[in-house]
Amino acid sequence: MHDESGAESLSVRALLSRFSILLVASCAVGLVGGMTVLESHQATACAVFVAIIFGTLFFWSFRLAIAFLGLAVLIFTNSLNIPQFVSSSSLEVILFLVGMMVIVGALRDLGFFTWIVQLIVSMPNLTGRKFIAVTAVASALLACAVDEVTSIIFVSTLIFQVCDRLKLNPTPYILIAVLATNVGSAGTMMGNPVGIYIGNKGGLTFGDFMTWSFPIMLAALAATIAVTLLFYRRQLGEFDLRLKDRLDQGLTLAPVVKVPYKQGLILITLTILAIASHHPLESAFGLAKNSVLLITPLICAGIVMILKQNRARHYIEHEVDWWTLLFFMLLFAVAGTLEYTHVDQVMAKYFSSVCGSSVTILVPLIFMVSAVGSAFIDNVIFVAAFCPVIEQLSGSVKDLPLWWALLFGACFGGNITMIGSTANIVALGMLEKRSGGSITFFGWLKIGLLSTAVASAVSIGSLLLLEPLMPDRYANVKFQMLHRDAGRKYDGKNVILTGRIGPATETGRRTIFPGMREGSFLPASIRSESGPEASIPAALPPELENRIAEFTASGSCRFIGRLYSIRDGEYPCVMVVEKIELPPKTGNN
């Protein structure tokens, strides 16, 4: 969602130079990958993905064209087919964003954002620290409720208005606000496109975000505001002096205008409440997980367009950023190719070989990789590439800390550089246009790196501290993930394994199951559906003894329980089964 109008004009020589780098880098990745650990179709998928990364870095205004061409290469090389393209393009996420963009347009028409600005301006006993702290918090919370770009546009307008009257340089205040906005965008799934994408891929609910992400965001926001207030303490002191002089002259800081805000407040409140209630509604009506969540903005947008039918076409044609949404859709599809060609399994295997299965190592590493990448490249690209890897890692590791590390790294990393997020670019564009001011790359890097380091320490520390309290969600695993060549280690991981029940082998009868006393379980084996050569020992609850014949006759079953790694065997795992589910019945009753 960067501003296209500011795309610089490049000479033919510069274009050819950048295109050469793009071509060489993508071909090098494909060739090296193909000669080492990747098959040809996997190497092609990686090469195209790298080409899109360099395309967004070198040819921002041409990124959509590069995505079109990259998709064509994947189709022609049989690295991706049309059904997989449709399933990987995350149309449900795109439609969620369309609905939210329509709602934001309606909120703008209804004066909701202007009302927020007026509340800040009319605060009593105003000081420089109070003004920018409240403004930064408001910007962060607005980003949670709508999106980071809308938030920074309205907050920046307020800052320019106040700084014009006090004849102050608005640059420090704009920087504090945009840094807070990027931090705030991690609080909910509505604040940033990566939030809803991670929520959809990870099966996270709005309640999950409010339970884990939102409190950590608030702690990181407080740390970010504290360090920026300290960094710009001289400028804030100047604010107090200028404000006192203006008030002594009998002048106000800004005119207070009465804004009809109630309709906008009702709209945003009902939208958030509807989104927040998606999980109980899905349970009550037996709907798929997150289905109500993803469709709620469309319902609210549809009602808005009926009530404001004279503005409906405007909302769809001008408020919805179709250029960016189409790029996201193609990017998600290309990233899905990494999963389709099993590149994600290769990445997860080498990731695990370096980090093991320790959350203490994985959380900081995922956070840092995501943050550094998002500092220079659109964070959606890195999140789209990493989601399949985390899905693979979640088969043997508690997944919630990993998803949150990816989210915080992608959002907080946008603060490191001036090109790290859309909000940064929009704010700097407004700064140049409204005041003629500017900031150098290293000028931004100084405060951006400092604030990101502080917010990162808070978020990583909080994740590691809260990790024991986070539930270990059941992960669907397959027998190939249990093979010794997969390199995975299990230590009581909650899993769901599909297979056939069988009698215990002689080796299985001698197996010691962690946490189980001899005679307290029924020894058995779980066999792969593809053949008896793949099997692992299992400990069943004694109360299932009378149903063994039923499970055997049904063929395939879902075994729910805890998985442990042992030293020996081609499939070096054992499972302590808690429950067995029969396959759903088919046909007419």
Quickly list DSSP for 393-420.
Answer: HTTTS-SHHHHHHHHHHHHHGGGSSTTS
Contacts of 83 (CB under 8 A, 6+ apart): none
Domain of 489 in residue numbering reads as 475-581
CB atoms within 10 A of CB 115: 18
Count CB neighbours of 328 within 10 A: 24
- Residue whose entry in the numeric block shows the structure tokens 């001011």: 437
- DSSP annotation of 468 reads G
Number of folded domains that form the chain? 1
The one-letter amino acid at 34:
G
Pull the structure tokens for residue 144: 């949670």
For residue 235, being part of any structural domain is answered with no
Helix, strand or coil, per DSSP, at residue 253: coil
115 neighbors 258 (Cβ within 8 angstroms): no
Residue 260 lies in a domain: no
> Residue 494: which H helix or E strand, with range?
strand 491-503
Residue 61 lies in a domain: no
Q: Which of 223, 256, 260 is nearest to 126 (CA)?
A: 256
Q: Does 231 fall in a domain?
A: no
- 290 near 203, Cβ under 8 Å? yes
User: Would you call 34 exposed, middle or buried from its count of C-beta atoms within 10 A (0-12, 13-18, 19+)?
Assistant: middle
Give a yes or no: residue 529 inside a domain.
yes
Tokens matching residue 184: 């705030």
- How many angstroms separate the Cα of 555 from the Cα of each of 51, 531, 541? 46, 12, 19
* Residues 6+ away with beta carbon under 8 Å from 47: 26, 27, 29, 30, 33
Q: Which of 158, 45, 53 is nearest to 382 (CA)?
A: 53
Place of tokens 């189980």: 516
The structure tokens 């063929």 sit at: 555
Whether the Cβ atoms of residue 348 and residue 365 lie closer than 8 Å to each other: no
**459 in a domain, yes or no?**
no
Count of Cβ atoms closer than 10 Å to residue 348 Cβ: 25
Residue with tokens 């290293």: 442
In Å, how far from its chain's centre is CA 220? 17
Could you tell me the two tokens for 481?
Answer: 């993930």
Residue 564: inside a domain: yes
Q: What is the pLDDT of residue 1?
A: 41
Residues of the chain with pLDDT under 70: 1-10, 60, 252-256, 351-357, 531-533, 567, 585-589
Identify the pLDDT of residue 74: 84
Q: Are strands 556-565 and 535-540 parallel, antiparallel or unpaired?
A: unpaired
54-60, long-range: CB < 8 A, 24+ apart: 54/21, 54/22, 54/25, 54/26, 55/22, 56/377, 56/378, 56/381, 57/376, 57/377, 58/18, 58/19, 58/21, 58/22, 59/15, 59/18, 59/19, 59/22, 60/2, 60/7
CATH assignment at residue 560: 2.40.50.140
Q: Which residues, 6 or more positions from 394, have their beta carbon under 8 angstroms from its beta carbon?
A: 402, 473, 475
Neighbours of 411 (CB within 10 A): 34
> What is the number of other CB atoms lying within 10 angstroms of the CB of residue 543?
8
- Report yes or no on 547 lying in a domain: yes
- SS3 call for 358: coil
The per-residue pLDDT for range 333-350, each reduced to its tens digit, is 888 887 788 887 777 777
User: How many CA atoms are closer than 13 Å to the CA of 81, on its beta-carbon side?
Assistant: 3
Backbone angles phi, psi at 279, to 5 degrees: -65, -50
Q: Where are the alpha helices (DSSP H) in 210-277?
A: 214-231, 233-248, 262-276
